[in-house]
Amino acid sequence: MNQITLPKKLLEKLPKSDYFDIKVRGDEVVLRPVKMTPAGSNLKDVREKMRSLGITEKDIDEAVKWAREKKR
């Protein structure tokens, strides 16, 4: 496995992150810090958004049923 070491002074300028998204752009390597969130933490936000939009469990059930019928 290949690894690189980044200078501490450089890392201090970035948001704290243990992981980076890596892309190659031409002859450059671009590193972007990845924000890790605990499993399920976004679920609360989704439920709050659904509630604010007035979406109910019945609406979800009907949408799933529609999608499954459409798939056939």
Instruction: For residue 12, name the pLDDT band (cuts at 50, 70, 90).
Output: very high
pLDDT at residue 71, rounded to an integer: 73
**Taking 80 as the threshold, does the pLDDT of residue 22 lie above it?**
yes
**Taking 90 as the threshold, does the pLDDT of residue 23 lie above it?**
yes
Between 38 and 18, the more confident residue is: 18
| Rounded Cα gap, residues 6 and 57, in angstroms | 48
User: Which letter does DSSP use for residue 43 in this model?
Assistant: H
Token output for 59: 């609406």
pLDDT at residue 44, rounded to an integer: 83
Element (H, E) at 32: strand 28-33
Instruction: Note the pLDDT tens digit of each residue in 27-44.
Output: 999 999 998 877 777 888
